[in-house]
Chains A and B, each alone.
Chain A
Amino acid sequence: MSLPIRGDTLAASRCAKCGAHFFPPRHRCPSCMADTVEVELPREGTVLTFSEVHVSNGRFRPPYVVAIVELGPVRVPGIVINATYDDMEIGDRVAVIVERNRYLDEPDVWYYFVKK
């Protein structure tokens, strides 16, 4: 499985031929079949939309806020650790942090969003 975490940042890949970006990274572009190069994503992004989960699958402790964040050239879904639904708005800025997985045993480190 291709995971997107590189140290304390997230990675995507860019097609060397057509410039398309992929998150999580992959080795080859499915449109061109050309090789990709890995790129580091910015450490801050903008909220496109969000929700607050109250009924989970038993592995995540509700309530928790989830969002889709525009992070440079890609869109990244994730959990916002320091906000409630009523705190959030489209266009909010969030920072990316990488830390020990708060909910699952695997992968042992994961990324989260922190509302600024």
Chain B
Amino acid sequence: MFITYTVEIGMNVYIISMGMSKIGKRKESSKELFFEALTEALQGVDPRDIDAVYVGVQSETYEHQIMYGSLVSEYGGLLFREAYRVEACAASGALALHTAYMAVRSGVARVALAVGVEKMTAKGTEEVTDALMAASDYVLDQLNGITIPAHYAMLATRYMRLYGATEEDLCAVAVKNHENASLNPKAHFQKRITLEECLRSRPVARPLKVMDSAPISDGAAVALVAGEDVARKLTDTPVRILASVVVADTLSISQRPDPLWPRAVWEAAARAYRQAGIGPRDVGIAEVHDAFTINEVLMYEALGFAERGKGYLLVREGETQRGGRIPVNVSGGLKARGHPVGATGLAQIYELYLHLTGRAGKRQVNARYGLALNEGGVNSTAVAHILAV
């Protein structure tokens, strides 16, 4: 028997406060980066009100550490609450927010703290590549030396040949995101880059180059989540979580009927639009998972911003830059804001939160609805959030 059913329970859920560390090559450990983000988020909120902590972390190899639930609870003065780690590689941060959302919506917590954190730069590039490779299929991918960049590169190879996009089109995504990050004081890079610099940069996995790729970064971001009654008491600027959706796909892109269609992203977005009662045209600002430039293009298509095979034209036509029809990765994206893997999902949410509450400074985009799409592996777990004021 195959059963379908819908359940309607729970209350409206809000983000009442957020914080994010400076992202970059940092000397601090992950618990110290977490505390930097928490300090910002606790302005006006009493830590005694927090009764659950969910932590997104990618890997135990960077700091030789597990038990991040207890670790951050201890360092944050938040012991004896429900606290644990959640993981879906680079989607861990948004997964922590989803867990906090579920906890509040179900009544398990009145105020839940979602944490995303990663401390990566103490390790070398090969060690980081190896740790990230654990997100791919062991037999199909890991035993064949198919790194995560190589997966995205194989998507780029096929996409360029099928749809006529060029290496210039992919580099244009990086140029746009660096331009945005030049206005973001917390970004890993505040430096603009040129198309030529990107095209000349060293190959990582052809056709993708260093400047098509997000950097290795350290950082943390946190969100405090509560139901409507509590949110109204604690803040004048609550941001509502209209949708929070997690969808899984295969680990290896080789096992997908159409490798160029990131189905989990599409499914997560479609369900999120339905939950929120809006469509792609209503989205005023989006943060999407540009771990590699090709993926920002694929996401335009899976999120309904562009037709299939035409995502790269949005960048050519400037539609996704600040001031365009749908500004994407105004923070600088993973490419230039930086990519502390477990923190990235909440860093995306932090950017939307700043814009929706009018605090994004020089890069402010005025929007009613914001969408964040965070993914882990190679679009293997997709987490969609739609926020609104």
Counting chain B CB atoms within 10 Å of each CB, the highest count among A24, A50, A76, A77 belongs to: A77
Q: Determine if A57 and B129 form an interchain contact, defined as CB atoms under 8 angstroms apart.
A: yes
Of B143, B149, B150, which is within 8 A of A110 by CB?
A: B143
B302 within 8 A of A: no
Q: Mark B105-142, 1 if CB is under 8 A from A, else 0.
A: 00000000000000000000111011001000011110
Q: Determine if B143 and A85 form an interchain contact, defined as CB atoms under 8 angstroms apart.
A: no
Within 52-89 of A, Cβ neighbours of B (below 8 Å) are at 52-60, 63-64, 66-68, 75-79, 85
Q: Determine if B254 and A68 form an interchain contact, defined as CB atoms under 8 angstroms apart.
A: yes
Residue numbers in B under 8 Å from A23 (CB-CB): 140
B158 within 8 A of A: yes
Interface size in chain A (residues, C-beta < 8 A): 35
- The total number of A-B Cβ pairs within 8 Å is 101
Of A24, A54, A75, which is within 8 A of B203 by CB?
A: A54
Q: Determine if A54 and B158 form an interchain contact, defined as CB atoms under 8 angstroms apart.
A: no
Within 77-114 of A, Cβ neighbours of B (below 8 Å) are at 77-79, 85, 90, 103-104, 107, 110
Interface size in chain B (residues, C-beta < 8 A): 36
Residue numbers in B under 8 Å from A66 (CB-CB): 144-146, 150, 154
Q: Determine if B206 and A103 form an interchain contact, defined as CB atoms under 8 angstroms apart.
A: no
Residue numbers in A under 8 Å from B368 (CB-CB): none
Residue numbers in A under 8 Å from B129 (CB-CB): 55-58
A37 within 8 A of B: no
Q: Determine if A77 and B130 form an interchain contact, defined as CB atoms under 8 angstroms apart.
A: no
Given A1-B139, A60-B145, A68-B253, check contact A53 B161 (CB 8 Å).
no
Name 6 extra pairs, CB < 8 A, besides A1-B138, A54-B205, A77-B252.
A51-B156, A54-B204, A58-B129, A66-B154, A68-B254, A85-B206
A–B Cβ pairs within 8 angstroms, 6 of them: A48-B259, A49-B259, A52-B205, A57-B129, A57-B133, A67-B154
Q: Which B residues fall within an 8 A CB radius of A?
A: 125-127, 129-130, 133, 138-141, 143-147, 149-150, 153-158, 161, 202-208, 252-255, 259
